[in-house]
Amino acid sequence: MNLKSKSSKYFQRHALICALIALPLLAAQGQNAPADTPKKDAQGIVLANMDASVKPGDDFFHYTNGGWIRRTEIPGDRAAIGVFNALADLSNQRTVGLIEEAAKANAPAGSSTRKIADLYKSYMDEDGIEAKGLAPLRPHLDSIAAIRNKQELSRALGESVRSDVDALNNTNYHTPNLFGLWVAPGFNDSDHYAAYLMQGGLQLPDREYYLADSARMRDIRSKYHAHISSMLKLAGFTDTDARAERVVELEHGIAEKHISLAENEDIHKADNTWSQADFTVNAPGMDWAEFFRGAGLTKQASFIVWQPTAFTGESALVGSASLDTWKDWLAFHLIEAYADVLPKAFAEERFAFFGKVLSGTTEQRPRWQRGVALVNKDLGDAVGQIYAQRYFPPEAKAQAQAMVANIIASFRKRIDALTWMDPATKAEAQAKLTTLNVGIGYPETWRDYSAYEVNADDLFGNVWRSGLFDYQHDVARLGLPVDRREWCMTPQTVNAVNLPLHNGLNFPAAILQPPFFDPKAPAAANYGAIGTVIGHEISHTFDSEGAAFDSKGRVRNWWKTEDLAHFNAATARLAAQYDTYKPFPDISVNGKQTLGENIADVAGLSAAYDGYHASLAGKPAPMQDGYSGDQQFFIAFGQNWGRKDREAALRQQVMTDPHSPAEFRADTVRNIDAWYSAFEVQSGEKLYLAPTDRVRIW
Ligand SMILES: [Zn+2]
């Protein structure tokens, strides 16, 4: 449950993102031009980014961001641009600097410094990549071609599994492999790591891309068909049109068995424990013994199957669809997964479909930025350790810790003040805050990369081994005691995340800097910007998913019946409020799919507001540029969400992202009483809600 969201589809071997927002737009689609820095250093809110001609009560998003929106163009290599991009650019510039230093260090073979240098070098060696051509892929294509029966197919499907999904931290439900593994604390035994298996098998972002009967989706499907054919042709296949047609048909069949994103977020539906024997009974078709052998999971006695009906349906397709179709599907998925590390023609064909058609981006990110993204993914902790030392001084950490403490204290007071909640339920909620593991800046321990082999002239091998290294790292942890202080984000990531099964929060160093956080800026701006981010992540502890976990991260109903009924009624009203938002006339926000994030936005904004007032310690709030403290607080919050999206990308977000579009996140303010008084918002203005229609949850 991150601030942003969604994983990069460029490197789909392992889970990439946690968060406040979804990441593909940042990580995958590019960060070329230095974005307009939305706030000047230490100035708090940025007047030039506002549009004072708009009434705040009519359109708070344009009131706070209209100036910036007017003068900002989305660069060709991006699907969207916003305040997060400016920070990601800075983090990228710093990271490439660290990589260049690593290259100059001439560090001994096997050291992390040498691996950083060599991995990046292998990515930048375009001539070497072209010269190798298809050679690195060939042995893998040959293994697929040699599959003789469904038993061997089942084994190959098992071998393709990676730990590339993450249901609750990264909110990444998508894997192009038939199934994905997530290793995390168990639903029913949160002291030990359990194996979660999740549906997969689709290249397109969601089942709706296969099933929806709109002109746009039909157009995407026809271009997807052509794209599969082109990829297979590049890899030397013949008869590629017919093969592509069968692959699309198979994926269509898989999509019919998938459950929707909104259903995926219901953890009670996901809590299904299957033994290995149960798979054969519940999901015939696959040779499950071979599958688990291929996946290296024969010793794992039980699994939590997130979407049982999808497992039954997908396994049946393994039995019923022809072997040749499955082999083409495997080959195409292999080529697609590694397209960015193969000769240019593959990367360009992949971008032409996933970048241009799906996201509306017109050009690829510069290669060096994609190289940085690769190093961040495959050696993220090695780079992050240096990044944190260099760019996150102890004073910044201390200030951020103080803000977090203040906002948690506000949250405690809000819980105590709830009139509808039983004291016993309140005590459990307070216990969750007491045991919350808050990580600021960087983790206490770092990943050991000694078993990961990197060669400066073997990009494909580096990437292949990284996927396996991560997978084996996760599989090796199954059954072991949980490290509650572990992180799921690197320090150089511009994002933040709540880990419900750990009852933990990560606030990476890269988001704890201007414009989100500036020690020199007025408290109003800091609390409105980073404070609401902190509040958002704390609030996930008590959102529609988080509320199902207790203080030890166990799935346990700690609510009194009436309290839960009240909570569910309030959150249903919030879902209904977001259902009314329409980014385009033909498409609405899905209030249920985005509910957890919307609750976190409302509750986080409330708690940060209280934290801000507590920080004033009874003193009057200083005015700045004619704006009161409360006005600065809300404007800073609105400016967090300054963002422009390409239409294709925004449509994709509405369908596949648990976060609402930025504009509606800025509109969260309409549920907060203090916003009405700060801007004298009156009945009749577009965002006005009568006091009884404002949704208060915590
Ligand atoms: Zn979130």
Q: Name the amino acid, one letter, at 179.
A: F
Q: In the prediction, which pLDDT does 426 show?
A: 95
Express each pLDDT in 38-67 by its tens digit: 444 456 899 999 999 999 999 999 999 999
Strand partners, 627: 624
Helices marked H in 448-560 = 459-477, 523-526, 532-540
For residue 2, the CA-to-ligand 1 centroid distance in Å is 4
Q: In the prediction, which pLDDT does 678 show?
A: 98
For residue 501, the CA-to-ligand 1 centroid distance in Å is 15
For residue 472, the CA-to-ligand 1 centroid distance in Å is 28
Cβ count within 10 A of residue 185: 25
Give Cβ neighbours of residue 59 (< 8 Å, ≥ 6 apart): 686, 687
Q: What DSSP assignment string belongs to 612-680?
A: HHHHTTTSPPPPBTTB-HHHHHHHHHHHHT-EEE-HHHHHHHHHH-SSPPHHHHHGGGGG-HHHHHHHT
Q: What DSSP assignment string belongs to 154-168?
A: HHHHHHT--S--BSS
For residue 592, the CA-to-ligand 1 centroid distance in Å is 14
642 close to 38: Cβ distance less than 8 angstroms:
yes
Give the integer Cα–Cα distance in Å for 504 and 487.
9
For residue 273, the CA-to-ligand 1 centroid distance in Å is 27
For residue 207, the CA-to-ligand 1 centroid distance in Å is 23
For residue 287, the CA-to-ligand 1 centroid distance in Å is 38
Cα dihedral 539, 544, 546, 548 sign: positive
**What tokens does 523 get?**
């408290």
For residue 173, the CA-to-ligand 1 centroid distance in Å is 15
697 close to 599: Cβ distance less than 8 angstroms:
yes
For residue 507, the CA-to-ligand 1 centroid distance in Å is 12
For residue 387, the CA-to-ligand 1 centroid distance in Å is 24
Angle between helices 323-338 and 150-159 (to 10 degrees): 20
For residue 493, the CA-to-ligand 1 centroid distance in Å is 15
Q: In the prediction, which pLDDT does 467 show?
A: 98
233 close to 202: Cβ distance less than 8 angstroms:
no
For residue 593, the CA-to-ligand 1 centroid distance in Å is 12
Q: Which among 441, 438, 475 is positioned nearest to 159, based on CA atoms?
A: 475
For residue 608, the CA-to-ligand 1 centroid distance in Å is 15
Hey, is 20 helix, strand or coil? strand
Cβ count within 10 A of residue 587: 15
Give the integer Cα–Cα distance in Å for 182 and 499.
13
For residue 19, the CA-to-ligand 1 centroid distance in Å is 6
For residue 175, the CA-to-ligand 1 centroid distance in Å is 21
647 close to 653: Cβ distance less than 8 angstroms:
no
For residue 94, the CA-to-ligand 1 centroid distance in Å is 26
Query: Which residue is it, tokens 């999971």?
Result: 297
For residue 401, the CA-to-ligand 1 centroid distance in Å is 19
Give the integer Cα–Cα distance in Å for 144 and 579.
45
**What tokens does 423 get?**
């004291």
**What tokens does 576 get?**
């209904």
Report phi then psi at 10, rounded to 5.
-75, -40
Report phi then psi at 467, rounded to 5.
-60, -40
For residue 486, the CA-to-ligand 1 centroid distance in Å is 18
7 close to 28: Cβ distance less than 8 angstroms:
no
Q: Is the pTM higher than 0.85?
A: yes
102 close to 116: Cβ distance less than 8 angstroms:
yes
End-to-end CA distance of the chain: 18
For residue 447, the CA-to-ligand 1 centroid distance in Å is 25
For residue 668, the CA-to-ligand 1 centroid distance in Å is 14
For residue 20, the CA-to-ligand 1 centroid distance in Å is 4
**What tokens does 482 get?**
């949980």
For residue 452, the CA-to-ligand 1 centroid distance in Å is 32
For residue 587, the CA-to-ligand 1 centroid distance in Å is 22
For residue 602, the CA-to-ligand 1 centroid distance in Å is 11
E-only strand ranges, 95-254? 179-185, 193-199
8-state DSSP, 47: G
8-state DSSP, 311: H
For residue 4, the CA-to-ligand 1 centroid distance in Å is 7
For residue 666, the CA-to-ligand 1 centroid distance in Å is 14
For residue 468, the CA-to-ligand 1 centroid distance in Å is 29
Cα dihedral 210, 215, 220, 226 sign: positive
For residue 462, the CA-to-ligand 1 centroid distance in Å is 32
For residue 22, the CA-to-ligand 1 centroid distance in Å is 9
Q: In the prediction, which pLDDT does 4 show?
A: 55
For residue 1, the CA-to-ligand 1 centroid distance in Å is 5
For residue 537, the CA-to-ligand 1 centroid distance in Å is 6
8-state DSSP, 510: G
Give the integer Cα–Cα distance in Å for 262 and 183.
22
Helices marked H in 353-503 = 358-359, 367-378, 380-391, 394-417, 423-434, 459-477
Query: Which residue is it, tokens 């997807």?
Result: 224
For residue 294, the CA-to-ligand 1 centroid distance in Å is 35
For residue 295, the CA-to-ligand 1 centroid distance in Å is 31
For residue 599, the CA-to-ligand 1 centroid distance in Å is 9
8-state DSSP, 531: I
Question: CA dist 120 to 29, 75, 114, 545, Å?
Answer: 19, 25, 10, 39
Q: What DSSP assignment string belongs to 334-377?
A: HHHHHGGGS-HHHHHHHIIIIIIIHH---SPPPHHHHHHHHHHH
Q: What DSSP assignment string belongs to 427-446?
A: HHHHHHHHT-EEEEES-SS-
Express each pLDDT in 480-536 by its tens digit: 999 999 999 999 999 999 999 999 999 999 999 888 998 889 999 999 999 999 999
Element at 597 (helix H, strand E): helix 595-615
Strand partners, 274: 303
For residue 540, the CA-to-ligand 1 centroid distance in Å is 7
For residue 487, the CA-to-ligand 1 centroid distance in Å is 16
For residue 563, the CA-to-ligand 1 centroid distance in Å is 23
The number of residues in the chain equals 698
For residue 538, the CA-to-ligand 1 centroid distance in Å is 9
For residue 304, the CA-to-ligand 1 centroid distance in Å is 24
For residue 5, the CA-to-ligand 1 centroid distance in Å is 8
For residue 50, the CA-to-ligand 1 centroid distance in Å is 25
Question: CA dist 585 to 43, 239, 574, 580, 589, Å?
Answer: 38, 41, 21, 11, 11
For residue 584, the CA-to-ligand 1 centroid distance in Å is 23
For residue 17, the CA-to-ligand 1 centroid distance in Å is 12
Q: List the chain residues with pLDDT less than 70.
A: 1-19, 21-43
199 alpha-carbon distance from chain centroid: 17
For residue 166, the CA-to-ligand 1 centroid distance in Å is 14
For residue 109, the CA-to-ligand 1 centroid distance in Å is 40
Give the integer Cα–Cα distance in Å for 42 and 23.
27
Q: In the prediction, which pLDDT does 377 show?
A: 96
Query: Which residue is it, tokens 């392992």?
Result: 14
Cβ count within 10 A of residue 164: 27
For residue 441, the CA-to-ligand 1 centroid distance in Å is 18
Q: Please confirm whether the linkage preceding 519 is cis (ω < 30° from 0).
A: no
For residue 346, the CA-to-ligand 1 centroid distance in Å is 34
Element at 506 (helix H, strand E): strand 504-508
